[in-house]
Each structure stands twice: as structure tokens, then as C-alpha cells.
Structure 1
Amino acid sequence: MKNSLKWVDDKFEEIFCVSLISMMAVVIFVQVIMRYVFQNSLSWSEEFARYCFIWLIYLGAGYGCRYAQHIKIEAALRLYPKSWRPYVVIFSDLLTISLAIYILISGIQLTELQLMHDKYSPAMNISMAVVNIAPPVGFALVILRQIQTVFKRIAALGADPEETEKKEA
């Protein structure tokens, strides 16, 4: 059980992101072949690719947080004394968690509205709640990954700051 949870923790975002981008590529390729070779097009392919891309973006946000690969302003961090930098980064991570919680709550409310009003996509006729649940799922992953990052950073507070910077670079 512990090994399977570790595998899910290590590979969840990767598997879904690779699957989504692969499905997008195949469907778009088939659409191009259908349009230019067979002079006919699929009515649902662009919508499917768009929804895959939406899911890819939000799952990718969690993946980026897992490896601390989101945009940050190094120049601003360098304005602080070296002894403060780890704390500033942890504070920044906590702000990210706060924003992610807000987006998670807002996304859940939006999804509930979509379910109440029974909205469906035009071409594929799927519930728009399937699309609108992507931000809450993605930002739940962001929260999880940022919490993991904060714990790693707190554990590294006693370590040599230059060694920590070398590992993060």
C-alpha cells in the first residue's frame, strides 16, 4: 500500500499530463487528416482538444509546484539578507497556498453552479462541470505540492543556506 501511494505521489501528474497531451495530439492530427484528405471534419475534435488543454494546464500547475518550477523573481529575493531568504521563500509558498485555497473554493462554487443549471458543451454534449472542475482539482494539487514544499523547506532551515540554494538551482 505504501509503495502504491508513493508511486501515485511521484507519477500522478506526469501520467495524466502525458496522456492528455497525447490525446490532444492524436485528435488534432486526425482532425487535420479528416479536413484536408477526406474533405470532412470532426465536429467535436476542437472542443475535445480545448478541454484536454484546460485540464493539462491545471494538472501542470500542480506538477510545476512539485518541482518548484514556477516563475519567481530571483532579483527580488536577492534584495534580502541571506539569512532571511529561506523565510521569505516559505512566506511566498504560504501566500501561494492561500491563493490556491481561494481558487479551489471559487472553482467548487462555479462547478456547483454548472451542475445546478445543467449546462452542457455544444459539440460533445458533456456537462460543463467536467471542464469547470479542472481548476479545483489542479489547485488542490497545488495546495498539496506546496505543503510538501513548505515542509521540505522547513526541514532544510538548519542546513547550510548555500547548499540549499545549490540543490534548488
Structure 2
Amino acid sequence: MITVVKNLEEILASIAISITVVLVIINVVLRYGFGFTLPWGQELSVICFIWAVYLGISSCYKNKLHMGVDAILAILPERALVPFNILIYLFLLGLNCLLCYLSFQYTMLSNKTTPVMGMPYFWVNIVLVLSFGLMALHTIRLILDELKELREA
């Protein structure tokens, strides 16, 4: 159970991208082989792709896999690196919390439905709240790791 929670983004993103790939393949085979497509297939594949992208962003953030600019870190003295990282993470925490809040507001205002399936856009947009909320939690973990390193130094 702990493994599932620990890898939640990766599991959900894998499911979403798998659904996307399967639906696209099925629609291609149906279009060229039989002359028709599943009308809801393209819509669902786009929704799953959106989910896969945002959950992938959160997963990369959790594992510190996003690109960074290390020019400032290269000129800082060794003892200033951890405090500087803490400041960066505090900024990112504020940014992620703000984006989570704004995403929540945007999601709550989603009163339209998708054209083919009639699915409320709430279920499309809620991934924004989930993704930025998870990134805020990961930022708190990164801050605690930096504070632990600062105490050990």
C-alpha cells in the first residue's frame, strides 16, 4: 500500500497514457480498416493525455528531474548553497500553493461538458488541483530535506 501511495503519480500517469495509446490505435485501425471511428475515443484519449502530462510533471518534480539553471549555484560559496536552495523551495512552495488555489477556483467554475461524452469539465480540470497540490507536498518534503542537511552541516 505504501508503494502505491509513494508512486501515485507514476501509476495514474501510466494508466492514463496506456488508455491514450490503446484508444488511438483502436481508432486508427477502425478508421483505415473499417471506415469509421469511435466518436468518444478521440475525446477520451485527449483527456487521458492531459492527465498523463500533469501527473508526469508532478512525478518529475518529485524526483527533481526538471531542468535547472545552475549558473547562480556555481558562483555561490559552498555554505550558502543549502540556504539558497531553501529560499528557492519556499518560493516554489508559494507558487505551487497559488497555482493549486487558482486551479481549484478554475475547476469549480467548470460548468460545461465535453461535446461527445457529455463528461463535466470538472473531471478534466481536477488534475490541475491534484498535480499542483502534490507538487506543493513534494516541495515541503524537499524543504525538510534541506533543513535536515543544514542541521547536519
TM-score range, shorter chain: over 0.9
In 2: Cα distance, 1:155 partner to 1:83 partner: 14
Q: 2:4, 2:11 within 8 Å by CA — same for their partners in 1?
A: no
Q: Which residue pairs with 1:163 in the alignment?
A: none
1:58-73 aligned within 5 A: 58-73=54-69
**Aligned CA-pair RMSD:** 1.5
* Cα deviation 1:16-72 (Å, max 9, x = unaligned): 111111111101110110111111112122211111111112212221122111221
In 1: Cα distance, 2:106 partner to 2:123 partner: 11
Give unmatched runs, 5+ long, in structure 1: 161-169
Check if 1:157 corresponds to 2:153.
no
Give unmatched runs, 5+ long, in structure 2: none
1:81-92 aligned within 5 A: 81-92=77-88
TM-score normalized by the length of structure 1: 0.84
In 2: Cα distance, 1:29 partner to 1:137 partner: 28
In 1: Cα distance, 2:105 partner to 2:151 partner: 41
TM-score normalized by the length of structure 2: 0.92
Q: What secondary structure, in the 3-state scheme, does the structure 2 residue paired with 1:37 have?
A: helix
Check if 1:100 corresponds to 2:96.
yes
2:45 maps to amino acid: A
In 2: Cα distance, 1:50 partner to 1:100 partner: 24
1:27 maps to amino acid: L
Q: 2:96, 2:133 within 8 Å by CA — same for their partners in 1?
A: yes
Check if 1:74 corresponds to 2:77.
no
* Cα deviation 1:132-158 (Å, max 9, x = unaligned): 111111000101111111111211224
- Over the matched positions of the two proteins, sequence identity in percent amounts to 27
1:28 maps to amino acid: V
In 2: Cα distance, 1:109 partner to 1:17 partner: 23
Check if 1:131 corresponds to 2:140.
no
Cα displacement (A) at 1:159: 4.6
Match of 1:119 among 106, 112, 120: 112
In 1: Cα distance, 2:149 partner to 2:80 partner: 14
Q: What secondary structure, in the 3-state scheme, does the structure 1 residue paired with 2:95 have?
A: helix
